Amino acid sequence: MHAPPPDAPILFFDSGLGGLTVLGPTRALLPTAPIVYAADYAGLPYGRKSNEELAARVPALLGRLVERYQPRLAVIACNTASTIALSHVRAALDLPIVGTVPAIKPAAEITRSGVIGVLGTEATVRQPYVDDLSARFADGKTVLRQGSPELVTAAEAKLHGEAVDPAVVARAIAGLRDQPGGDAMDVVVLACTHFPLLQDELQAAIGPDIRLIDGAAGIARRIAHLTAGQRWPAEVSPGVAVFTRSEDHAPPPLAALAPYGIGRIETI
């Protein structure tokens, strides 16, 4: 495979704005990397779609984006899309693909009580992929799961400048805590890239004794590893955010994306 030109971007893909939590640490490691951030607002929320729908939708849309932007690497910065469609995307596209999976392995390494919570979308928490991760890395431990579509909506609203309803956060936490063994839980995996956008609200609701973890830093390191030795531009250039057209969801103000290095917004 030929070395990509310096201006070949990294493509980040998510249903919405959650993948910004992966983009942030990646920019810290690769500060001059050109960025295309794609949000499938026409398909949001992914957590309520069927596996079959996502297995068809995600590779088709990524194929269009790869053709248009010619990235050196694509990141599916979405747990739901990764757990369902990652193998389909890798089969369809001829470039490196990095997926996002729930951080159950590091959670199992740091829990002292042996009880781990997994907070994700409804689609992610029901996946056999999560069963497999739990069996491989958390054998003998209790893994509690809770799906919260409301948190995805709240995270999106927060980046649109709206207030987060504390009741939404409280319901998600209670959904984990009220399960058998939930009172002993000491680590919660944020198994949706949207949820670290609500880190402060979630931590305040769950208390200081429970650790919240996600996989974003590990994904950023993986991206840096896969692009090691490649050439990058000498200077930082503003990234582009691309939104699929939706009657229900308008793109956020550019000011909300600027801290992530986004300089313009496009719709497709």
- Which candidate in 192, 210, 216, 240 is catalytic? 192
- Which candidate in 20, 78, 115, 123 is catalytic? 78
- Specify whether 192 is catalytic: yes
Q: Please, what's the b/e burial string for 75-101 (b: 16 or more CB within 10 A of its CB; e: otherwise)?
A: bbbbbbbbbbbbebbbeebebbbbbbb
- Specify whether 170 is catalytic: no
17 class by beta-carbon count within 10 Å (0-12 exposed, 13-18 middle, 19+ buried):
buried
| DSSP-H helix ranges across 160-259 | 166-177, 199-206, 216-226, 254-257
| DSSP-H helix ranges across 185-215 | 199-206
Cα dist. 213→53, 79, 108, 155, 186 in Å?
29, 14, 11, 17, 11
Please identify every residue annotated as catalytic.
Answer: 78, 192
